[in-house]
Amino acid sequence: MQEQTAVLDSSGRFPVEPRSSKGLFSLFQRAPTFDHGIHPLEHKELTADKPIRRLPFAPELIIPLSQHKGKPAIPLVKVGQEVVRGEPIAQADGFVSVPMHAPATGVIRKIGLGPTAEGPKAPAIFLKVYLAAGQQVLYDQEQDPEQMEPEAIIAAVQAAGLVGLGGGAFPSHVKMIPPAGKAIETLVVNGCECEPYLTCDHRIMLEQTESLIRGIRIAMRATGAKRAIIGVEDNKLDAVAHLRARLPQHLPITAEAVQTKYPQGAEKMLIRSLLGLEVPAGHLTSDIGVAVFNVGTLAQMGDLLPKSRGLIERVITVSGLPVERPGNFMVPIGTPVRFLLEQVGVKPNAGGVILGGPMMGMTVASLDVPITKSVSGVVVLEAEDENAARKQVYPCIKCGECLNACPISLNPSMLGELAQARDYVTMSADYHLDQCFECGCCAYVCPSNIPLTQYFRISKAINRKRKQ
């Protein structure tokens, strides 16, 4: 590794000097970035200028009890019980778990198995929405996070049911506590939104700026971070300028542009780009004094905590070439995908529906699957999409494209051959399989159309099973 900057100057602001200005090459200096990665077509123009809108309530919402990493929530309500929008309907089961709140006023119709994006049915609360249900939330209580102790903020974040809204779904309050003996120095605010099509974080930065800044201040107070850096890909320079104009001058919060390159929004990549640091293998970001939060998570935090409310809705992008009226929408948690697509209209050439972005999201097996807390978008693919990975698979020709694409410098070519040979142990022991976070770059570039990412997903699952 070259330089390890990341030391801030006395004012607490991120150094203005670019991370690596090297003589003549500084002429060609672009925004900082990480090694490798890919440049898929973005298609963000479909929705980037569409303001966040609300839609009518779906007739029935399906709220899975496990929308986060950790233990599922425990229901607090009974079938037939009436609930008010914002009221808690399930409580956290232990520390690594979060509660659920009623996204709309209505009556509990059923508590039982419901559809999930992953496939197998899972316990969920079915909420029949009253026709006259309003958008306003009555269920709240004022509090001032700026005056609260870190422990109290962390408890309030858990009570709000907040998880990583960027797709991680990891309970936010857990990330606020560094491991024993470590301290969080830097709060990295992830506004990269590197997945094609998605623009919800872009809109949040433009439209929910006050909530976002409030959320950053709350998170800094809770984690003890001495500075915060908002990392935004340089295809959203309007958001960078917008934020810079509104960030309080007296606080060590800055907005920095990073290169537009997938997967810039992966936290390990963004830390590398902004700070020049790497998260050691097998460690958490907090081990190097960094906590990463998505802009959507922090905007919700800034919105919910002062009123002690729970997370009941989120911004998502509904897009894709077959969508008639793509846009960014504030959607109640539990809204079925079918209802959403009926609202935006879908052309007959639609083929598949992805929850999340097209690089890492998963296709749903049923349109009854609900939007959960970590779903950042619904992207509709064209049937038999020209661009989809449905082409003839050739043997690996060792072109090395995957090695040049892998953001963590794995050797996907070798890993793919080992997976075909079912040598999963060597993959993990000698070729760092466990470092792979399934970003999809290798499969994206592979001219032989080898489903490398899927191989690695399966290989990791088999290794996990063997360890048990």
Partner 1 sequence: MFKDIEIRTSPHLKRAMSVDRIMRTVVLALLPIAAFAVWQFGLSVLLLLLTTTGVAVATEWFFARQSGRGNTVADWSAVISGLLLGLTLPPGFPLWMAAVAAFVAIALGKALFGGLGYNVMNPALVGRAFVQAAFPVAITTWTPAFAPGRFAELIPSTLTLPFMQPIPVADWVAGLHMDGWTGATPLALQKFQHIETPLGDTLTGLIAGSAGETSALLILICGLWLAWQRMLDWRIPASVMAGAVLVATPFWLLDPVLYPSPWFVLCSGGLMLAAWFMASDMVASPVTARGVIVYGLFIGALTVIIRLFGGLPEGVMYAILLGNAIGPLISSWTQPRVYGSK
Query: Which positions from 141 through 200 interact with partner 1, judged by CB under 8 A?
Result: 196
Q: Where are the alpha helices (DSSP H) in 251-382?
A: 267-275, 295-304, 337-344
Residue from 82, 149, 151, 342 touching partner 1 (CB under 8 A): that is 342
Helices (H), 236-331: 237-246, 267-275, 295-304
Q: Which residue has the tokens 């962390």?
A: 154
* Separation CA 454–CA 442 (nearest Å): 10
User: CB of 415: closest distance to partner 1 in angstroms?
Assistant: 11
Closer residue to partner 1 (CB): 315 or 360 = 360
For the record, the structure tokens of 158 come out as: 């858990």
Instruction: Look at residues 407, 164, 166 and name the one whose alpha carbon lies nearest to residue 271.
Output: 407
Residues of span 248-307 touching partner 1 by CB under 8 A:
268, 272, 278-283
- Looking at this protein, which amino acid is placed at residue 287? D
- Can you tell me which of 107, 321, 346, 462 binds partner 1, judged by CB under 8 A? 346
Asked if 423 interacts with partner 1 (CB under 8 A), we say no
CA distance linking residue 339 with residue 316, whole number of Å: 14
Shorter beta-carbon distance to partner 1: residue 298 or 379? 379
> Please, which residue, 42 or 313, has the CB nearer to partner 1?
42
Q: Of 35-43, 156-164, 173-181, 305-313, which segment contacts partner 1 by CB under 8 A?
A: 35-43
Interacting residue with partner 1 among 252, 358, 370, 377 (CB under 8 A): 358
Shortest distance, position 250 Cβ to partner 1, whole Å: 35
Number of Cβ atoms within 10 Å of the Cβ of 331: 26
Our finding on whether 421 is near partner 1 (CB under 8 A) is no
Query: Which residue type does 222 have?
Result: A
* Number of other residues whose CB lies within 10 A of the CB of residue 18: 14
Distance CA 294, CA 172 (A): 10
CB nearer partner 1, residue 108 or residue 446: 446
Among 108, 247, 410, 419, binds partner 1 (CB under 8 A): 410
* Binding to partner 1, residues 49-78 (CB under 8 A): none
Residues in region 207-236 near partner 1 by CB under 8 A: none
Report if residue 325 touches partner 1, rule: CB under 8 A: no
Backbone angles phi, psi at 362, to 5 degrees: -120, 150
Structure tokens at 27: 């002429």
Stretch that binds partner 1, among 54-62, 97-105, 133-141, 439-447 (CB under 8 A): 439-447
Q: 431 phi and psi, to 5 degrees?
A: -125, 20
Cis status, amide bond into 263, omega within 30 of 0: yes
- State which of residues 189, 396, 418, 427 lies at the interface with partner 1 (CB under 8 A): 396
- Taking the CA atoms of residue 207, residue 211, residue 215 and residue 221 in that order, the dihedral angle to the nearest 10 degrees is 140
- From the list 31, 86, 442, the residue with the least C-alpha distance to 274 is 31
Q: Which of residues 371-390 bind partner 1 (CB under 8 A)?
A: 379, 381, 383, 385-390
Q: Interacting stretch for partner 1, rule CB under 8 A, among 54-62, 217-225, 247-255, 351-359? A: 351-359
Does 362 contact partner 1 by CB under 8 A? yes
- Is 360 a residue that touches partner 1 (CB under 8 A)? yes
Question: Please, are residues 173 and 157 in contact by the beta-carbon 8 Å criterion?
Answer: yes
Minimum CB–partner distance for residue 158 and partner 1 (Å): 29
Report the residue from 325, 398, 422, 464 that binds partner 1 according to the rule CB under 8 A: 398
User: Could you tell me how many residues of this chain bind partner 1 (CB under 8 A)?
Assistant: 75
In the complex, minimum distance from the CB of residue 409 to partner 1, in angstroms, rounded to a whole number: 4
Backbone angles phi, psi at 295, to 5 degrees: -60, -35
